[in-house]
Amino acid sequence: MLDDFFSRALIAGVGLALITGPLGCFVVWRRMAYFGATMAHSALLGAALALFLRIEPMSGVFLVATLVAGALMLLERIGGLSSDTLLGILAHAALAIGLVAVAAMPWVRVDLMGFLFGDILAVSRTDIAIIFASGVVILGLLAWSWRSLLAATVNEELARAEGLGPTRARVLFMLLLATVIAIAMKLVGILLITALLIIPAATARRLAGGPEAMAVVASLVGAVAVVLGLGGSLTLDTPSGPSIVMAAFLLFLASLLPMAWRRGSAPPDAGS
């Protein structure tokens, strides 16, 4: 089964969706979509660093994403600027430095389109093993810190008063997010990672009643998007990564239909 490139892509994509689902829920709950985009933008700089040091690209992406997360926390403590302003500065600076760094290494052959949009059809057995091994660790750590993260999301001051360590939980969450971005870069690319984190979670928010249920539904929505996106890519000969994100977007639109139908079928206001 793993000898077929489409089967490998399907298994890798579903494995990634199972990881991004719960993490994406916290991105949505904590209104950190821009933070996810900033981390994704830093991936190109990480890839450039990996090429310069001749190390595995995932290692370089994880290192730079972690440094960007640390820089954000440090700048927030210094104060003076809002979080969204700081994220905008870090996102564009990391992307620009990454592009300049790549251009400054003419001896290195770089597939920018591959970094930006990924190539899930090129995953290997080793990539699949990394995804599922990392997924077990990431989901295990997320389950371990679930209560602290959830409490800090609802009320950080109350979580601190109850001794749940919201700052430690936030640092762990950022590290987990950096790890996922490093893994996902090869599959869906830098520009589409954030979409895979946010869209399934936003869809699940319409369909699930509680936090745990939303995390499960987000993973399932992501997995369905992978299957539909890859199927559409194979049938229509379209890019695989964007096709997966487009499928996720269509599922999100479908999740809005019940609400639109209820509003459309509601009786008119008696006072109107």
Write the pLDDT tens digit of every residue in 42-97. Answer: 877 887 788 778 888 778 888 888 888 888 778 777 766 777 788 788 888 888 88
Mean pLDDT of the chain: 81
What's the confidence (pLDDT) of residue 172?
82
Evaluate whether residue 66 is within a structural domain: yes
Q: What is the pTM of this model?
A: 0.83
Evaluate whether residue 270 is within a structural domain: no
Query: Domain limits at 193?
Result: 4-256
> What's the rounded mean pLDDT across residues 184-205?
83
Evaluate whether residue 265 is within a structural domain: no
Evaluate whether residue 215 is within a structural domain: yes
Evaluate whether residue 267 is within a structural domain: no
Evaluate whether residue 39 is within a structural domain: yes
Evaluate whether residue 269 is within a structural domain: no
Q: How far is CA 143 from CA 22, 29, 138, 163, in A?
A: 10, 16, 9, 18
Please tell me what DSSP assigns to residue 3.
Answer: T
What's the confidence (pLDDT) of residue 213?
92
What's the confidence (pLDDT) of residue 272?
45
Report the domain count for the chain: 1
Evaluate whether residue 271 is within a structural domain: no
Distance CA 263, CA 48 (A): 50
pLDDT above 70 as % of the chain: 85
Whichever domain contains 52, its CATH number is 1.10.3470.10
Distance CA 233, CA 236 (A): 5
Write the pLDDT tens digit of every residue in 143-164. Answer: 888 888 887 777 666 666 666 6
